[in-house]
Structure 1
Amino acid sequence: MKKTQKWFYSLAAAALIFSGCSAKPQEKPADGAMTAGTYTATSSGYAGEMEVSVTVDEEKILTIEIGENNETPSVGGMAIEQLPGQIIDAQSIALDGVSGATYTSKAILDSVKDCLTQAGADLSLFEKSPTASTGEEITISSDVVIVGAGAAGLSAALRLQELGQEHILVIEKMAYTGGASATCGGGFSAAGSKYQKEAGIEDTPELMIEELLKKGHNINDAELTKLHAENSAAAIDWLIDDIGAQFNVPQPSEKGIARDFTAVGGGAGFMQTLHDVAQQRGIEIQLNTQATELIVDNGIVTGVKAKDNKGNQYTIDAKAVLLATGGYGSNQKLIEKADVGRVIYYGPVSSNGEGLEMAQKIGAKVTNLQYLGVKPNGLEVTAGVGKYTQPANNAMWKASAGILVNDAGKRLISETSSEQELVSVYKQQNDWAMYTVMDQAAYDIFYKTAIEKHLFSETEAKTWIEEKGTGTTVFVKGETLADAAQQAGIDAEALAETLEAYNQGYEAGKDEFGRTLSAEFKTDGPLYIVKQNLRFATSLGGLDINPECQVLTEQDEPIAGLYAAGEVVGNVQGDASSAYLSWAGTSGKLAAESIDAVLK
């Protein structure tokens, strides 16, 4: 749904609203540099076109107004909220933008530059890097400091407050809350929830344990798997009943026990709810503040040191510290420990493993760093980094005739097989890649779903098609089968034979790979082919904890005052991620209850 809200910033208001920005104003541009007035420009953000209006006088940027847009509130919305004020405050467009909101930031900066050009500005006067602030030394005291404002961190904060803890501080290094949880699909596994019972679903924690161990190839820590499963129902019931999170309740199915709740609006929708409720309940969340070091006194963790984007250095004293810092997927040094082959990363830039490294420095035990949550149907955008298209693939497989082949043009597996089965086939192919082949009807479903779910943008798809397979992203359109295959680097003759076999299966009502076929593949063109890589966003290694969520040493002794929850904890899912949002919410709630018990 398009947001009708507009954002408006003025130079006068910036002094008040954005006085905390790190940038300092530049010298005034030369007299008469611009023609006073209001100018408008449009650029492509993360989720489509975004109009920006800039008002200037002869020397300065006076106001910036962001028009209607479809940017994600929890991420792009933070760039819309913060960046215009920073530009006005600095009188400069030589800013880094809001970390993690790259597309939105670039759209705003490009549009402001366009407007300045229209006004006749000497752009060199507005492209000077702002002088960094030196900041202050600040000491803060809190009963509990939570490092990270994702699902685990905010769940913990909300639960602690419910239990009567009044002095809670959440610090988050990014300019927004949400973490990796805001980028996931929103699935939350729970066994024995009252909502399952109301829907007629019989389920037990023991069955969930069995499933998690099977998916993780029994590499999981059995104690933590048990902890997760046995407390998952209480967590989902609490999130729905007490926090007001909205989930689609699973319904009875012949395909196994239905225990996967799905957040309305996906992970982003779920995290927006946690953020909003935390704000409404007065929980203090300090953004743009990165923890740098754990404070230890006689073997007890008594707080953290941190820094913010204004140059301030913090000493935060606390009776308990909860690390909810997420994974390490974008930390290349840590990823090198994982033997994963050709896999692209599509997770958040915030997953750098700082919490893991801080804890290691004081003797914390780490485990399973060699495992990552590898899944199929990724889309490489830059070298080693990309997106995922799974929801678009699923919608298309279900309702049309798209197929998955290797570079030899051969179909090897039902496209609707399990993720683990698909991963196994991917790993046997060149570059660990497969190719999604679509006729026009299939592509229409794939494209529409991708745009609606912000998997990629209209501009990106247009650019990739124009590149005709010559760029990093192989996303091609051919008027004939031979043309599309040639652009994608696939054997055209073999592909034609594969499609003929598929259509024969459709006509006979029996697919050789067991898929239920819903449409004939139209081979007369146009055809679309997308190269799909294996992908990961979730790291499966991390800190070792006990059932009270206390971080353990190499000797399996708890570190007093230090707790961990969410993805920073290792060995919960074995070697295959399957229920991490569930683990984040469940472990965040459990950690809060353990901390509360100690503090009381």
Structure 2
Amino acid sequence: MRKSHFFRTMTIWLCLIMTVSLLGGCAGNSNQKKNDSQDNQAGMTFKPGTYTAESKGKEGPIKVEVTFSESELTDIKIISASETAGIGDKAIETLKEQIITGQTLAVDAISGASETSEGLLLAVEDAVKQAGGDVTAFKSNPVSKAGGGKTEQMAADVVVVGAGASGVSAAVSAADKGATVIIIEKTATIGGASNLSWAGKFYNSSAAVNDGLKVNVENEIANWIVNNHWRVDAAAIRQYVTKSGETYDWLAEKGYQTSFLNFFGEQLHVLPAYDSRQDILRKMLAESVEANGGHVITETTAKKLITGSNGEVTGVVAEKADGTTLEISAKSVVMATGGYAANKEMVKEAFGFEGINGGLGQNIGEGLQMAWEAGAKIPDNFGGQMLHQTLARATSKLKEQYTSFEASYPLMLSYLPNFMNVGPSGARFRDEAATLESVAAANTSAFNGPYHMVIVSQSQLDALTAQGMNGVQAPKLPGMPPEFYADFQDQFKLETPWANAQQVFDDMVKNGDGYKGDTIEELAANAGMDVTVFTEAFNNYQKAIKTGVDTEFGKTKEYLQSMGESGPYYAIIAEINNLGSVGGLLVNTKFQVLNNSRVPVTGLYAVGLESEGVLFNDTYVGNGVGIGYSFTSGRLGGENAASNALAK
């Protein structure tokens, strides 16, 4: 696909979204709409009382009690919810206020918490029905934006767009250099994807060296360049490898203390407790940005970069949650908007990937679009993604029926090399030992199609029921991220028998998240595979098991475990988790954004994921690099942006 075609397509697509959003905001603020809203609300009637309703959120069910008078919805109480702290829970509180104040369900999903938002709205809609209310009318009452039509002027030395790990780091380091900084964030949450991350890599940090683990810098850099086929910026890689260790100490001094972990010879640094991270980052901003006369503005979305007569970037136009337009002038603008992984159409067109977005829902690419419109180059390696985990489609629904351990049976098998893996057509596509490494597992699957299937026989299921994963001779525990098994740590052992395994897998099929067949031909037909293709692949695999020699993919004998001689057989639908897009803007080692001539766009900087394309070729292959680079690029990029601003 030509870059020019992609640029035109995305320009039209994003412009349409922005236009619809703006038109919707204008309509919501017209006097006619206000009068209509008042008329609708005046005519609403309910059966007074409190009604219980439930719907599915991102992390599990959201249960509410909604109270009505004869004419109004008066209260919403959250009975139970397990939404992400600092993201989903804040979205719930914001939506509750909007629904009650506006007497409407016509509220926008909260950026970064769309699934949570939808879950709450569906639960309240159910309660409206129970109370005999007119759901259509309740949905038609528009939300008026108090600031609609107002414009405010602001100014700073540096404005940072996005308050994730890279944005906060950029804002803090710029303020520490003496710059006045304004940082804006489209959600109510500070920290972005770092609030969900596990660990970062800070090469040769003082903690790593003190622990006796030191990386040979020159070997690391040379191997990195070769492994990415030389299609990277060698200077950018060198800067990260040699400077990231300093970021560990910098973060520690700021109160963001990470813990060093020798992870099988890799230098990883585990981030602070999940529920403490946002508070620490807010404190960092308060002590640097706000203490130096700057501002931290949340629930405010950047819409456009302001440019001068010579193409220089001189500020940002943004919109607050109440509809107020902010025109912020600045000498340096730092883009830290987190990429576009939540934009399914954009990811598919740029990379051909159709898996799961495991990152944040607000990252749909507007920051890139704004920078491109201001003259930034679309990099030649544009499209790479951070494919990093395998997911079983069955897990979510099964968790509503079983314990977390039992619900994770299909997921755990997707991380073991002992099972046959096939693509949508039914063809086997890899040595299943690739499942032992997260990046290898993710990319081999994604290259094969939107999902793959893990084949499990009845005899294997019986062995799991009796002896747990030891029954199928698993070489080690599934290499899932710690948060995947945190709530069943005590049972997460090779020897733990898999109680109810048969029923769990049958319910997986009943829920539409897997397939079953008494014969391999029936399984293929039920799963939509080509029967001939799957039959041939299955017979070849059975031959490899019997001979101990896999002539197709070279799978070792120890992983070629017997599947028995009869069915039934199950197919687990496994999908790949995309933690974020990689790149989109080309930067130099000062994190200045470059134009088509590879010359800096004056006044424009980029840090974090949007600048990460200089490190990788077509996809992310690091472990901990994403978060380590976010903090490091933010720290260094903020310093450079401040130096530029203060020199003017």
Which TM bucket (shorter chain)?
0.7 to 0.9
Q: Bigger shift: 215-224 or 542-551?
A: 542-551
2:639 aligned with 1:593, yes or no? yes
2:173 is paired with a residue whose SS is helix
Q: How does 1:147-166 map to 2 (within 5 A)?
A: 147-163=161-177, 165=179
Q: How does 1:62-101 map to 2 (within 5 A)?
A: 62-101=74-113
Q: How does 1:112-127 map to 2 (within 5 A)?
A: 112-127=124-139
1:307–1:314 CA contact under 8 A, matched in 2 = yes
2:589 aligned with 1:547, yes or no? yes
CA distance in 1, matches of 2:279, 2:564: 44
2:226 aligned with 1:214, yes or no? yes
2:238 is paired with a residue whose SS is helix
Deviations 1:486-518 (A, max 9, x none): 432453575376368558869xxxx96248659
Match of 1:453 in 2: 484
Match of 1:575 in 2: 618
| Alpha-carbon spacing, 1:377–1:234, altered in 2? closer, same or farther (3 Å) | closer
Whichever residue aligns with residue 289 of structure 1, its letter is T
Match of 1:320 in 2: 332
2:145 aligned with 1:136, yes or no? no
2:338 aligned with 1:294, yes or no? no
Of Structure 1 and Structure 2, the greater helix share is in 2
Q: How does 1:59-458 map to 2 (within 5 A)?
A: 59-133=71-145, 134-163=148-177, 165=179, 167-182=180-195, 185-247=197-259, 249-251=260-262, 253=264, 257-263=265-271, 272=278, 275-278=281-284, 281=287, 283=290, 284-297=295-308, 299=310, 300-330=312-342, 338=350, 340-341=351-352, 343-344=354-355, 346=357, 347-373=359-385, 375=387, 396=413, 401-406=418-423, 407-408=425-426, 410=428, 412-413=430-431, 414-416=433-435, 418=437, 422=441, 425-426=444-445, 429=448, 431=449, 434-438=452-456, 439-440=460-461, 453=484
Deviations 1:400-453 (A, max 9, x none): 844423444647402335566556754775x47532234547799899979963
Deviations 1:149-190 (A, max 9, x none): 22210122233344555x42211223434445555x534222
Q: What is the TM-score normalised by the length of structure 1?
A: 0.77
Match of 1:475 in 2: 514
- TM-superposed CA distance for 1:40, in Å, is 1.8
- TM-superposed CA distance for 1:305, in Å, is 1.2
1:26–1:91 CA contact under 8 A, matched in 2 = no
CA distance in 1, matches of 2:464, 2:434: 13
CA distance in 1, matches of 2:443, 2:417: 24
Query: What is the count of residue pairs matched by the alignment?
Result: 548
Q: Report the aligned-residue RMSD.
A: 4.2
CA distance in 1, matches of 2:568, 2:483: 23
2:435 is paired with a residue whose SS is coil
1:324–1:566 CA contact under 8 A, matched in 2 = yes
| Alpha-carbon spacing, 1:57–1:422, altered in 2? closer, same or farther (3 Å) | closer
1:397–1:415 CA contact under 8 A, matched in 2 = no
Whichever residue aligns with residue 151 of structure 1, its letter is A
CA distance in 2, matches of 1:179, 1:462: 38
CA distance in 2, matches of 1:157, 1:461: 49
CA distance in 2, matches of 1:345, 1:573: 21
CA distance in 1, matches of 2:481, 2:345: 32
Q: Bigger shift: 81-90 or 547-556?
A: 547-556
| Alpha-carbon spacing, 1:420–1:88, altered in 2? closer, same or farther (3 Å) | closer
Q: What is the TM-score normalised by the length of structure 2?
A: 0.72
Deviations 1:216-243 (A, max 9, x none): 2221111111111111111233334533
Match of 2:399 in 1: none
| Alpha-carbon spacing, 1:71–1:401, altered in 2? closer, same or farther (3 Å) | same
Q: Percent identity?
A: 27
Match of 1:7 in 2: none
- TM-superposed CA distance for 1:202, in Å, is 1.9
Match of 1:487 in 2: 526
1:503–1:521 CA contact under 8 A, matched in 2 = no
CA distance in 1, matches of 2:235, 2:199: 23
Deviations 1:96-126 (A, max 9, x none): 3223322211221122122222323233442
CA distance in 1, matches of 2:269, 2:565: 39
Q: Bigger shift: 277-286 or 151-160?
A: 277-286
CA distance in 2, matches of 1:595, 1:416: 42
1:31–1:58 CA contact under 8 A, matched in 2 = no
Whichever residue aligns with residue 71 of structure 2, its letter is E
1:171–1:285 CA contact under 8 A, matched in 2 = yes
1:243 is paired with a residue whose SS is coil
Match of 2:605 in 1: 563
Of Structure 1 and Structure 2, the greater strand share is in 1
- TM-superposed CA distance for 1:324, in Å, is 0.8
- TM-superposed CA distance for 1:140, in Å, is 1.5
| Alpha-carbon spacing, 1:186–1:424, altered in 2? closer, same or farther (3 Å) | closer
| Alpha-carbon spacing, 1:264–1:400, altered in 2? closer, same or farther (3 Å) | farther
2:64 is paired with a residue whose SS is strand
| Alpha-carbon spacing, 1:358–1:263, altered in 2? closer, same or farther (3 Å) | same
Match of 1:12 in 2: none
Whichever residue aligns with residue 632 of structure 2, its letter is T
| Alpha-carbon spacing, 1:373–1:274, altered in 2? closer, same or farther (3 Å) | farther
CA distance in 2, matches of 1:150, 1:241: 19
- TM-superposed CA distance for 1:318, in Å, is 2.1
CA distance in 2, matches of 1:482, 1:587: 53
1:416 is paired with a residue whose SS is helix
2:106 is paired with a residue whose SS is coil
- TM-superposed CA distance for 1:144, in Å, is 2.1
1:259 is paired with a residue whose SS is strand
Match of 2:541 in 1: 498
Deviations 1:515-542 (A, max 9, x none): 8659876787775423345664543342
1:342–1:534 CA contact under 8 A, matched in 2 = no
Where in structure 2 are there 5+ consecutive unaligned residues?
A: 1-27, 394-407, 470-476, 487-503
2:266 is paired with a residue whose SS is coil
